[in-house]
Amino acid sequence: MRSENEQKELQGEKLKVGVLGATGMVGRRLVSLLLHHPRFELTKVVGSGATAGASYRDVWEEKESALQHHYGSRFWRPFPVPEGIDGMRISSFDELLSSDCMAVFSSIPERAGEFEEELIKHGCVVFSNSPYRRFDPEIALVVPEVNRNALVGARFVKNPNCVTSGLVLTLAPLQDRYGLREVVVTTYQSLSGRGDAKYAQELVLGNIYPLHASSEATEENIWREVKKIIGDSFKISVTCNRTCVQEGHFVEVRIKTRAPIRSTEEAADALAGFNPMRSLRLHSNPQSPIVVLGEKGRPRPMQDANHHEGMAIAVGNLTTEDEVFDLRLTYVVNNLVRGAAGGALLNAELWEAGASAVRNKAGLQH
């Protein structure tokens, strides 16, 4: 005899989920994506202890207003408050633990990683944007189109840095077709990549701010993430910068391959045709994860950060005419969607689809 919960799962009832770190920039974007999700029911939003019990709308508006005030209203555009959060109150962590949430999306700082550990011990599945334990061998670090098998049996799932999320999508089809020997990456990352933390205006407004040797370990993180997701068969050099853009990271990539690339068009076809999850019916799965643009001067963050609702990267400026490298290209990745909230959500959808298939198979056998 099945329990009531098991019967509901077999009937396709939504999985109850919570968001830890829901008041942060990535957390807010996660909430906006979850509000009308067909498979997940958002029941808890959790912020810091200081915000527990507060109106979620009030905290949301306060944080967006602070960013606009800091960077200036002519530059910064607040992300609108979705209507679905009206009446929502911020829960405490203890309320999340005592809830019936089976999965939790986490967007907390690395220093707060013990909260993720507590959720795992409590039986939750955690999908996390946090750098905490990202490089531990036993922790799954997943970009579904590239290494989705790492999700099998996982209950603690990480998605990588926003640059890496787009970079491995770009490198995977080229690795498959040509093999990679050396990759040189230079990033121009938007200000929203740092969340609600604010840069001094003189560093970033109308400026380029190199991140090398700064408090942000972005260069090393990207290098290590690429190695963990794709493998260690090629050399990679990474240089990171912040630039005066609100949303969307612009990245230059220079590549030496093992097999020759016969033409720019051939490389473009390899990228555009990369879609290993095309047959999966997942809510956040883009029609194609890579959009190749032939127009000169593209991609650009303002015009190209939102292909397929921000879940596809835009690739352009491809050329094989270079004296040093076999291929040059640039891409734009939406750092808040594909590179963060949407990446975690796609991991969760893929995990849930697998778990649902197992439950349904078990149901047919009873």
Catalytic residues: 162, 249
Residue 36: CB partners within 8 Å, gap ≥ 6?
A: 84
Distances (CA, A) of 127 to 191, 215, 224, 354: 24, 25, 20, 15
The token duo for 299 is 């991609």
Helices (H), the chain: 4-10, 25-34, 56-71, 93-97, 114-121, 144-147, 162-178, 201-204, 218-230, 264-272, 301-304, 342-364
Distances (CA, A) of 221 to 162, 218, 274, 347: 11, 5, 25, 20
340/334 Cα distance (integer angstroms): 8
The token duo for 276 is 């290993």
249/228 Cα distance (integer angstroms): 22
Are 304 and 139 spatial neighbours (Cβ–Cβ below 8 Å)? no
